[in-house]
Structure 1
Amino acid sequence: MGTKGSEGMDEAIIDLARDIMGSPWVYTVLFAIAAIDAFFPAVPSESLVITAGVFAASGEPTLLFVIIAGALGAFLGDHISYTIGRTAGTRFRHRFEGGKRAGATFGWAERMLRQRGGLIIVVARYIPGGRTAVTLTAGTVEYPLRKFSLFDAIAAASWATYSGMIGYLGGKAFEENPLLGLAVGLGVALSITAIVELVRHQLAKRRARAATTPDDHPQELV
């Protein structure tokens, strides 16, 4: 009895999701959420693109349009975030930072922009909180808009393709059970994000250790 009820609920959820994903408005929603996520990170744009990718495996929505909508929305949102940083400057950034962790993220973003330039705009897309920190900071430090737009186009396109394809492959692998495909897609994305964050954390610790280690062979005072 319980199993039948659970199966019925799963089917109801899948049917509702299919209705939503089959709507022509889904691309507009994807575009809007991907844009808002740039300066309001509580909005789960990656999860939505992955979900759309899962259902694209069964034909609706169209995967290519999912990727295009997500990429264009992300590109626009990043430029809004850049403009906020450029116009409001450090005062807005300090308000946005709030806690100690956010402050450290913005400090990291500024260092990386100065050291790595455009590359960090692409890489930060896959680091928790990195997208907002880097785009706002790029505007604050007046990183050249033309270069920002070039690297951000690469970042937005790669992110949308990556998210859409993870969902699509999960949906293809579990065509009979889209919820399982969604769980697998989200799990893979979270695992990749965790690995990237772990590697970044270890590299930061190693750099900090190297900076505080005294020279093994100090020069003699003359």
Structure 2
Amino acid sequence: MGLDVVMGAVGTAVSSPWFYLVLFAVAALDGFFPVVPSESLLITAGVYAASGRPELVWVVVAAALGAFAGDHVSFVLGRGSGGRLVRGLRAGTRRHAVFGWARRTMDERGGLILVVARYVPGGRTAVTLTMGAVGYRARSFALFAAVAAVSWGLYGAVLGYAGGVAFEDEPLKGVAVGLGLALSVTAVAEAVRFARRRRSRDRLRSRDGRVVSGV
């Protein structure tokens, strides 16, 4: 009975027009305060959207706008700290070289990194802060932040919606299915990232070994 009361309260909360504002605020906070569970809230909203309240389109819009705003807050924070960092760097030092490398990397592949980092645990805030710190172009950042935010909003809401459709009369199971799907996608992405990183290390070791043997 206690669980029924809790789920009833959740259902009432997500059906309120104010819920969209809450979802926006949580998604925004998650951009620079990553302990806020924005993805869980988005998936839960998607589950209940399967029954018509809240509306799926507005769930995606609120989540995407919040994520977009949060990314920009993180970007501005990074830009502010980046200015102090640059002034403190000395030419010829390792930190100066690393900062230069980061700037070049963001110029070349920054947009792709931003979109992909949206689905990497802890990656979103790290990348947006770094892009601000290295002086990445604000207009380009806004473009790729919009792509990342909209894709994330659709991704989380649709996962939740799928769980809601599968368990229309049991929203708790729907939430569990949505979260399980999200965790599975994250696990696969992390496994691929780990495999690529390991292959890169193996290639470097192999190349270094050939150089040493040739010497």
The TM-score, its normalising length taken from structure 1, stands at 0.83
State whether structure 2 residue 70 is matched by structure 1 residue 70.
Answer: no
Match of 1:39 in 2: 32
Root-mean-square deviation over aligned CA pairs: 2.1
State whether structure 2 residue 174 is matched by structure 1 residue 177.
Answer: no
Task: Name the aligned partner's letter for residue 22 of structure 2.
Answer: V
The DSSP-based 3-state class of the residue aligned with 2:180 is helix
Q: Which runs of 5+ in 2 are unaligned?
A: 86-98
The DSSP-based 3-state class of the residue aligned with 1:181 is helix
Change (3 A) 1:33 1:91: farther
Match of 1:206 in 2: 199
% identical aligned pairs: 53
Task: Name the aligned partner's letter for residue 202 of structure 2.
Answer: R
Query: How do 1:3-14 and structure 2 match up within 5 A?
Result: 8-14=1-7
Which of 147, 150, 155 is 1:154 aligned to? 147
Change (3 A) 1:178 1:91: farther
The DSSP-based 3-state class of the residue aligned with 1:126 is coil
Contact 1:113 1:134 in 2 (8 A): no
Match of 1:194 in 2: 187
C-alpha distance in structure 1 between counterparts of 2:177 and 2:75, whole Å: 33
Match of 2:159 in 1: 166
C-alpha distance in structure 2 between counterparts of 1:55 and 1:200, whole Å: 33
The TM-score, its normalising length taken from structure 2, stands at 0.86
Match of 1:16 in 2: 9
Query: How do 1:25-174 and structure 2 match up within 5 A?
Result: 25-89=18-82, 110=102, 113=106, 116-174=109-167
After TM superposition, the runs of 4+ consecutive aligned structure 1 residues lying more than 4 A away are 215-221
Per-residue CA deviations over 1:62-92 (Å, capped at 9, x if unaligned) read 1110100000000000000000000122878
Per-residue CA deviations over 1:161-213 (Å, capped at 9, x if unaligned) read 00001001100110011100000000000110111111111111111221122
Change (3 A) 1:175 1:36: same
Task: Name the aligned partner's letter for residue 68 of structure 1.
Answer: V
